[in-house]
């Protein structure tokens, strides 16, 4: 453990260049302007020094001195609490709990379907694409109601949704509608400086959503 910590800066985020979960953590890191090293790697061939700290080799993995975190949502929460300005969670406990429940539901529904699309056979993937598209479109009234997802302020929920929306064109999912509600929401997120800086070279090469 001493070797990797002494070689790295105070904080290092090990990240897959294409994993949406890792992208979420990078988005938070850049949105808050946190000084940290980002090291891209192939999770299927994780470096040995990382495996010493995180035997699973999963991405993302955050290292800060003796702290090792390797769950995207825990990393995002930690960064928001460790660097409280600007806050990405509302301060009152009820609002924070509700936001956590929304993120959990997004993970269980949208991200689970994304995982099936990327890692399942053709038949199961096609079914998952249809379900994901319909589920997102069914949320159009929520996207339309406020500038950000169920909020007037940018939050961790948006940091969770943006990387997923960015990937939809590259997997053949079109969520455009006549009023372009979701497209406009997506562009508000994609145009943020933090989001632009969070993109890896591989993610920049993904099919860019229509503007």
Q: Which residues are annotated as catalytic?
A: 19
Rounded to 5 degrees, φ, ψ at 12 are -135, 135
The DSSP result for 19-86, as a single string, is -HHHHHHHHHHHHTT---EEEE--GGG--HHHHHH-TT--S-EEEETTEEE--HHHHHHHHHHHS-SS
Question: ∠ CA(71), CA(74), CA(76), 5° rounding?
Answer: 105
Q: Which two tokens stand for residue 174?
A: 């079109």
C-alpha 67/C-alpha 195 separation (Å) is: 26
């Amino acid at each position: 453990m001493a070797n990797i910590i002494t070689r790295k800066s105070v904080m290092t985020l090990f990240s897959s260049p294409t994993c949406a979960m890792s992208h979420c953590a990078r988005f938070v890191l850049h949105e808050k302007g946190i000084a940290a090293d980002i090291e891209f790697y192939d999770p299927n061939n994780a470096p040995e020094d990382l495996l010493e700290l995180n035997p699973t080799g999963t991405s993302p993995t955050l290292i800060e001195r003796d702290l090792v975190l390797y769950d995207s949502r825990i990393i995002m929460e930690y960064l928001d609490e460790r660097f409280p300005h600007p806050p990405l969670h509302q301060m009152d406990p009820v609002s924070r709990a509700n936001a956590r429940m929304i993120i959990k539901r997004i993970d269980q529904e949208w991200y689970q379907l994304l995982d099936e699309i990327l890692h399942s056979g053709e038949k199961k993937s096609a079914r998952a694409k249809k379900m994901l598209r319909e589920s997102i479109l069914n949320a159009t009234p929520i996207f339309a109601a406020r500038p950000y997802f169920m909020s007037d302020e940018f939050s961790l929920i948006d940091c969770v949704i943006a990387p997923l929306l960015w990937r939809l064109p590259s997997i053949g999912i079109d969520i455009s509608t006549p009023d372009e509600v979701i497209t406009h929401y997506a562009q508000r997120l994609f145009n943020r400086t933090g989001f632009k800086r969070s993109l890896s070279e591989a993610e920049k090469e993904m099919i860019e959503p229509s503007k």
